[in-house]
Chain A
Amino acid sequence: MAATVKQTAAASPWRTIMRRLWRHKAAMVGAVILLLLILAAMLAPVLTAHDPEIGDYAKTLLKPGGEHFFGTDEQGRDVFTRTLFGLRLSLVVGLISVAIGVVFGVTLGALAGFKGGWIDTAIMRVMDILLAFPAFLLALAIVIGLGQGLDKAIIAVGIVSIPTYARITRGAVLSVKENDYVQAAGALGASQNRVLWRHVLPNIFAPLLVRATLGTSEAVLETAGLSFLGLGAKLPTPELGLMIARAREYFHDSAYLVYYPGLAITLMILALNLLGDGLRDALDPRLKN
C-alpha cells in the first residue's frame, strides 16, 4: 500500500505524458521515421562521397542503380546526395521558421494579454488581418516584398505562423492573469516577465509544442512550395521543392528525379504529422477518441 502511494507521488505529469506517447503506436512510428531522417540528414557528408552541387557532365540522367542509388540529374549530380542534403535543408528551414513564429508570436501574444487596452487591440487586429488570408498566399505576398531567396522564404513562412502562436499565448495570459496566485505573485512584487515565465509559459507549453510540431511540417511544405514556384531557393542549392521543379523538364523519361525527393519530403511531413497528432493525444487525453 505504502509503495503505491509513493509511486503515484513520484509520477510527474511529464512521465505520464511520456508514457502515453510511448504507447501511442502512430506517434512512435512518426518519431522513428523522423529520427532516421534526422540521422540521415546529419550524416549526409559521411553517407555519400559526391558533391551535392557539382555534377559530372559525363554522367547526366543516369538511371538509379550501381554507384548512384537514386540516379543522377541533368547536370550529372548524384540525386541521393542531393536528397540527403535537401532533407537537411528542409529540417533547418522548418525549425527556423517555427522559431520565428514562436518567438514573435509568444512575445506579441504576451504583450497583448498583459498590457490590454489599445496595445492589445492594435496587435490582435493586425493578427486578424494576417489570418484573414490563406497562409500560402500570404507567404507568397511577403516573399514578393522581401525578394526571392530561401532565407526570405523562411522569414515569410515564419511571419505567416505568428498569429497562431500569438492567439494561443494571449488566451493563456488572459486566463492565468486573473488567478489568485498570479495576483498574489504580482502583489509580492513579481514582475510581469516573471509571471510570464513562471506561470503562463508552463501552462501553454503543451499546446505550443503540439502547434510547433505540426507547424514545422506546414513550414517545410510551404517553403518547398515557394521554391517549387521559383520564389525560394536558387540553383544549385539542393532544396527538395526546387529539385522537383527542375525535374519536370525531364519527367517523361526520368520520373525518378521527382520520386526520390518527393518521397523524402512526404516522409518527413508524414513523420511530423504522426508525432504531432500523438503529442496532442498524449498531452490532452480529452481530445482523443
Chain B
Amino acid sequence: MTRYIAKRLLQLVPVLLGITLLVFLIFHYTSDPTQVILGLHGSEEQRVALRESLGLNDPLLVQYARYLGNAVQGDLGNSWMRKTPVSAEIAQKFPHTVELTMIAMFITVAMGILVGVISAVKPYTLVDYLSMTAALLAVSIPVFVLGLFFISIFSVKLGWLPINGRMSAAMLSSFEPPTNFYLIYSFFTGKWAIFWDLAKHIMMPAVVLAGATTALLARMTRATMLEVVRQDFIRTAKAKGLSQRVVIFKHALKNAMIPIITVIGLQFGGLLGGALLTESVFTWPGLGTLTISAVEAKDLPLVQGVVILVATLFVLANLAVDVMYAFFDPRIKYA
C-alpha cells in the first residue's frame, strides 16, 4: 500500500510540471510583468532595470527552471501586485476556502447519500420523484443564480441570514484569532457568540456550493443502490430475517460504496471550481476571490501558486479515493 501511494505521488510530478509549464508559457506570451508592477507610468530605465532584476532577460527555459528550483524549496516567489510572498498570501486565504469547501463536502456526502438511499428504497414513489426532480433542478441551476436566489429569499426578504462576508464587522474587532480557521478556532475556544455569527455567515454559501454536488451524488447513489438491492445476497440477508435498516445500510450501501466514492472524489474538483463562483457571489475572502483578483491583475506568481495548490489537492483527492476503494472492497489490493 505504501509503495502504491508513493508511486501515485510520484505521478503527481509530471502533472505539476505540465500544468505549471502551461501557465508559465501562457503568461510569458501574454503579459508584461513590468507593466503589472510599475503600471503605465514607469520610465524606460526602470523597466529595463526591473526586467534585469526579475531575470526576464534570461532564456525562457532558465526562467522556468529557476521558478521550479525555488518552488521545490517552498518559495513561490513574490506577488507582482502585492509585493508579498505568494506562499504567505495563499496561507492567509486558504483556511477560509477550506472551511467553506469542507462544510459543503460534508453536506454533499451526508445529504447526497441519504437522499439517494431513500429514493432507492422507495423507488417510483412520491418521495423518489420529488427528490429526483429537486436533484435535477439543483444540477441545472448555475451556482451564481442559486446563490443570488437564496440571498433574495433568506437575506433580503426574510432577513434571517447575512447577505455576504465572513463575519459581522462588529464581531471582527473583538476577535483576533491566531489562525484563519475562524470557525474551528471559535469552536474549540468556546467563543459561542462569534461561532454562531460565523455559522450564520457560512451557512448559505456552503449550501449553495454543495447544491450541484449533492444532487449528483444523490442520483449516483440511487442508481447504484437500485442495482445492488436486486442482487441475491440482499435477498439472502432479508431471508435471514435481518431488519430493513441493517440490510440497507450494512449490506447494500457498503456494496454500493465504490461508485459513490468515485463520484465524491470527482466532485471535489467541482467544489473547487464552484468555490470560485460562490466566493464571488458571497464576497467570501478565500482563495477564489484571491484568484480572481490575481487573474485581473495578471499576477503570474500568484496565479501559479494557486494553480499548483489546486492541482495538488485534486490529485491527492483522487488518490484518497483509490486508497478508500481498498477499504470498502477488500478484494481490491494495491501492490
Contacts and interface: CB of A to CB of B under 8 A. Distances in A.
A273 B273 CA distance: 20
Contacts of A135: 269, 273
Contact of A132 (B19, B142, B227, B296): B19
B130 interface: no
B144 A244 contact: yes
Nearest to A269: B140
A71 interface: no
Interface in B251-293: 269-270, 272-274, 276-277, 280, 291-292
Contacts of B27: 144-145
A140 B26 CA distance: 12
B226 A289 contact: yes
Interface in B204-223: 223
A221 interface: yes
A161 B107 CA distance: 28
Interface string A269-284: 1100110000000000
Given A137-B273, A270-B140, A144 B19 contact: no
Contacts of B307: 133, 137, 141
Contacts of B310: 133-134, 137
Contacts of B156: 251-252, 255
A245 B223 CA distance: 36
A134 B272 contact: yes
* Among A137, A251, A259: residue with most chain B CB under 10 A: A137
Interface string A30-73: 00000000000000000000000000000000000000000000
A129 interface: yes
A244 B145 contact: yes
A192 to B, nearest CB: 28
Interface string B1-27: 000000000000011001100110111
Interface string A210-237: 0000000100010011001111000000
B36 interface: no
B192 interface: no
Nearest to B291: A140
A224 B143 CA distance: 11
* Among B145, B148, B226: residue with most chain A CB under 10 A: B145
A239 to B, nearest CB: 13
Contact of A248 (B136, B140, B148): B148
Contact of A270 (B15, B136, B148): B136
A132 B276 CA distance: 18
Contacts of A145: 23, 25-27, 29-30
B312 to A, nearest CB: 10
Contact of A229 (B22, B151, B292, B314): B292
Contacts of B140: 217, 266, 269-270, 273
B282 to A, nearest CB: 11
B224 to A, nearest CB: 9
A95 B144 CA distance: 22
Contacts of A252: 156
B71 interface: no
Contacts of A266: 137, 140-142, 145
Contacts of A251: 148, 151-152, 156
Given A135-B269, A255-B156, A258-B149, A269 B142 contact: yes
Contact of B15 (A128, A140, A269): A128
Contacts of B23: 141, 145
Interface residues of A, number: 43
A230 B291 CA distance: 13
B142 A221 contact: yes
Contacts of A224: 142
A269 B143 CA distance: 12
B223 A289 contact: yes
A269 B145 CA distance: 13
B219 to A, nearest CB: 9
A133 B314 contact: yes
Interface in A124-158: 125-126, 128-129, 132-137, 140-142, 144-147
Interface string A232-268: 0000000001001101100110010011001001100
A258 B148 contact: yes
B276 A140 contact: yes
B298 interface: yes
Contact of A140 (B18, B143, B269, B295): B295
Given A132-B19, A142-B26, A225 B148 contact: no
Interface of B: 14-15, 18-19, 22-23, 25-27, 29-30, 123, 136-137, 139-145, 148-149, 151-152, 156, 223, 226-227, 269-270, 272-274, 276-277, 280, 291-292, 295-296, 298, 303, 307, 310-311, 314-315
16 contacts: A125-B18, A132-B315, A134-B273, A134-B310, A135-B273, A136-B274, A137-B276, A141-B22, A141-B303, A144-B27, A225-B143, A229-B277, A251-B152, A266-B137, A270-B140, A289-B227
Interface of A: 125-126, 128-129, 132-137, 140-142, 144-147, 217, 221, 224-225, 228-231, 241, 244-245, 247-248, 251-252, 255, 258-259, 262, 265-266, 269-270, 273-274, 289
For the complex of A and B, list the 9 residue pairs with the smallest distance between their C-beta atoms, beginning with the closest. A145-B26, A136-B273, A134-B269, A129-B18, A262-B145, A270-B140, A269-B140, A134-B273, A132-B15
Given A137-B307, A258-B152, A289-B227, 15 more contacts: A128-B15, A132-B15, A133-B310, A134-B269, A134-B272, A136-B274, A144-B27, A145-B26, A229-B280, A241-B144, A245-B144, A266-B141, A266-B145, A269-B142, A273-B140
